[in-house]
Amino acid sequence: MAVERVVVADRTAFLRRPDHRVVRALALLGLVLLWELVTRTGWVSPLFLPSPSGVLAEGLDMARSGQLLVHLLKSLQRLAWGFGVGALAGVGVGVAVGFFAMAEAVVQPIIAATFPIPKIALLPLLILWLGIGEASKVAVVALGVFFPMAINTYAGVRQADPLLIRAAVSFGAGRWSVIRKVVVPSALPMVFAGLKLGAGTALLLLVAAEQIAADAGIGFLILQSGNLMETTQLMVGIVVLSLLGVASYWALGALERVVIRWRHT
């Protein structure tokens, strides 16, 4: 029996979203080239917009003198403490509130009342309580990370499939076993979404905190360069911030793939 082949046009072709990897790279490259061109031709004074090549040279200079490393390490140290403390507290509170009705009754109204406060507004208060040293800077970052973590973890825990929980219980799992083996794993995707949100907030608050009474850090570098009208140095600080943001997003994504293996295979 002869098979008649009919060619049918895929009418959902417009829904396909190819990767366009080359275009992505070209877009970024094009922007940098345009920027270089604008500054090279003298349309914009280098004082107001330093050229990318100038920024790169200055960045290398600062890296060689060790100056950039001092600022970067100081910022990373504050980020690590603030992010660590905030994320741990956020996950802990989120799981407790999601799982125990009593904890939910106590904590949820408090979170609802304190979450909308822009954390930057708390900075002066934190400085009064904790002084102008490291503690207030770490605390504001931790606060900024805590809320998205707690809220996302809570939502993740609440979303755990009741059927799975019942199944686990009927197989004889205890309360802790259910939390550890069913609730937390099913909340993990939401926890990672919270981590990524928190990373952005943490950078924002870090820069704000470092602009008050600091003597090192990327935020300090940016403010000081602005005060001194060293715009090239200022741009180096901004580029480093952008790289930090990209790096943290990438690292969290990699961690997510390792931790939530079942979701990506």
Partner 1 sequence: MSVTRRRVVALLVLVLAAAPVLAGSAEAQAPAGPVKVGVLKLTSSAPIFVGVEKGFFKEFGVEPELVYFQAAAPIATALAAGQLDVGATGLTAALYNIVLGGEKLWIVADKGREWPGYPLVAIVVQKELWDGGLRSIKDLKGRRIGVTQLGSTFHYHIGNILQKEGLALSDVRIVPLQAMAATVEALKGKQVDAILVPQPFPGAVEAQGFGRIMAWAGDLYPWQIAAVFYSDKLARDRTRAVAFMKGYVKASRYYHDAALVQKDGRPAHGPAYEELVEITAKYTGARPEIIKLGFPFQDRNGRLLVPDIERQMAWWVANGFMKRPLPLRSVVDTSFVEEAVKGLER
183-186: long-range contacts at Cβ-Cβ below 8 A with a sequence spacing of 24 or more? Answer: 183/95, 183/98, 183/99, 183/157, 184/95, 184/157, 185/260, 186/156, 186/159, 186/160, 186/161
Q: DSSP strand E in the chain: where? A: none
What is the rounded distance in angstroms from the CA atom of residue 229 to the CA atom of residue 3? 76
Which lies closer to partner 1 via its Cβ, residue 183 or residue 221? 221
Q: Name the residues that contact partner 1, by CB under 8 A.
A: 45-48, 127-128, 131-132, 211-213, 215, 223-224, 227-231
Which lies closer to partner 1 via its Cβ, residue 46 or residue 253? 46
Least distance between partner 1 and beta carbon 159 (Å):
45
What is the rounded distance in angstroms from the CA atom of residue 144 to the CA atom of residue 58? 32
Which lies closer to partner 1 via its Cβ, residue 168 or residue 212? 212
Least distance between partner 1 and beta carbon 213 (Å):
5
Least distance between partner 1 and beta carbon 230 (Å):
6
Which lies closer to partner 1 via its Cβ, residue 91 or residue 223? 223
What is the rounded distance in angstroms from the CA atom of residue 189 to the CA atom of residue 252? 12
Least distance between partner 1 and beta carbon 212 (Å):
7
